[in-house]
């Protein structure tokens, strides 16, 4: 499952931010967008509500800018999931709902 990844051709963000996925609720795919203000190592993971990692979508260095990942969750059960973006300096998380 290779998520589609790309960089939006927008201006440089000044901060580290994670947007709400859309659509939400979703079935079976959703888009997760995030911005980083400087080149850094980032990790984007999805967890179930028990805190178990179910998939790692991004894990490595990324350049400053706006990014997105198209996440296909067809292999997961319906329910709430947490997606978390972390770097050496910051971590932010949001909730999403898969409805089958």
Whether residue 30 contacts residue 73, with contact meaning beta carbons closer than 8 Å, is answered with yes
Which pLDDT tens digit goes with each residue over 10-58?
554 568 899 999 999 999 999 999 999 999 999 999 999 999 999 999 9
State which H helix or E strand residue 79 sits in. Answer: strand 79-86
Whether residue 40 contacts residue 61, with contact meaning beta carbons closer than 8 Å, is answered with yes
Distance in angstroms (rounded) separating the CA atoms of residues 79 and 91: 23
**Closest-CA residue to 98 (of 55, 39, 43, 42):** 55
pTM: 0.85
Which pLDDT tens digit goes with each residue over 75-87?
999 999 999 999 9
Identify the pLDDT of residue 2.
45
Identify the pLDDT of residue 15.
82
The answer to whether domain 4-98 has CATH 2.60.40.3080 is: yes
pLDDT at 4 over 70: no
């Amino acid at each position: 499952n290779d998520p589609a990844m790309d960089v939006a051709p927008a201006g440089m963000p000044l901060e580290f931010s994670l947007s709400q996925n859309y659509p939400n609720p979703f079935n079976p795919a959703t888009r997760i967008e995030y911005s980083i203000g400087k080149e850094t190592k980032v990790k984007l993971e999805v967890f179930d509500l028990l805190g178990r990692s179910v998939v790692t979508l991004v894990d490595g260095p990324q350049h400053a800018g706006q990014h997105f990942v198209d996440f296909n969750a067809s292999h997961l059960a319906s329910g709430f999931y947490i997606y978390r973006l972390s770097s050496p300096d910051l971590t932010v998380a949001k909730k999403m709902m898969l409805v089958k």
